[in-house]
Amino acid sequence: MKTRMSFDQLVLFLQNLLDRFVRRVRLGPAPVPAGRRLLIVQIDGLARAVLERAVAGGQAPFLAHLLRRHDHRLQPMSVGLPTSTPTFQLAAMYGVRPDIPGFRYHDRRHGADVYFPRGGDAARVEAAQAGGRLGIMHGGSTYGCVFTGGATNSLFSFARIKRPTGVGLLQAVSALLVLGWVFLKSLTMSLVEIARTLLRLVADPVGESARGWKWLAIKIGISVWLRELFTLSVSRDLYAGVPAVYVNYLDYDVVAHAYGPRHRRALRALRRIDHSILQLWRVLRRVPEHRYDLYVLSDHGVAASVPYTRVSGGRSLEDVLLDELLDARRGEGGGTTRRRHLAAGLRGYRAGRAPGLFQRFLNYLESDFPWVLGEGRAAREPRPVRVLVAGPNAFVYFLDAAEALTIERIDERHPGLAEEISRGRGIGFVLARAGTGPVCVWRGKRYRLGEGEAGPFAGREDLPVVLDGLRALMAMPSAGDLVIYGIGAPEGHVSFLPELGAHAGPSPEELHTFIIHPPEITLPSPISDPVQLYGHFVRYQESTETAA
Pairing of the two strands 37-43 and 292-297: parallel
376/130 Cα distance (integer angstroms): 41
Return the percentage of the chain with pLDDT > 90, whole number: 58
Taking every pair of C-alpha atoms in the chain, what is the biggest distance, in angstroms?
A: 75
What are 492-539's pLDDT values in tens digits? 999 999 999 999 999 999 999 999 999 999 999 999 999 999 999 999
Contact between residue 309 and residue 316 where contact means Cβ atoms under 8 Å apart? yes
**524 and 81 Cβ atoms separated by less than 8 Å:** no
List per-residue pLDDT tens for the chain, 548 residues long: 344 444 444 544 555 566 556 555 554 455 555 689 999 999 999 999 999 999 999 999 999 999 999 999 999 999 999 999 999 999 999 999 999 999 999 999 888 999 998 878 999 999 999 988 999 999 999 999 999 999 999 888 877 765 555 544 434 334 445 555 545 554 555 555 555 555 544 444 444 444 455 555 555 545 556 788 888 888 888 888 999 999 999 989 988 998 899 999 899 999 999 999 998 998 898 889 999 999 999 999 999 999 999 999 999 999 899 877 666 555 544 444 444 443 444 444 444 444 444 444 445 455 454 444 444 434 444 568 999 999 999 999 999 998 999 999 999 999 999 999 999 999 999 999 998 889 999 999 999 997 878 999 999 999 999 999 999 999 999 999 999 999 999 999 999 999 999 999 999 999 999 999 999 999 999 999 999 999 999 999 976 655 55
Read off the pTM.
Answer: 0.81
Dump pLDDT digits (tens) for 264-283. Answer: 989 999 999 999 999 899 88
Per DSSP, which regions of 87-196 are E strands? Answer: 104-107, 112-115, 141-143, 153-155
Q: Where are the domains of the chain?
A: 2-25+36-304+509-547, 306-499
- Relative orientation angle of helices 356-368 and 251-259, to the nearest 10 degrees: 80
| C-alpha dist (Å) from residue 302 to 75, 227, 511 | 19, 20, 9
Residues 97 and 95: their CA atoms lie apart, in Å, by: 7
The CATH class of the 2-25+36-304+509-547 domain is alpha beta
Give residue 426's region: left, alpha or beta (phi > 0; psi -120 to 50). left
Q: CA dihedral in degrees (202, 204, 209, 212; nearest 10)?
A: -90
Amino acid at 420: E
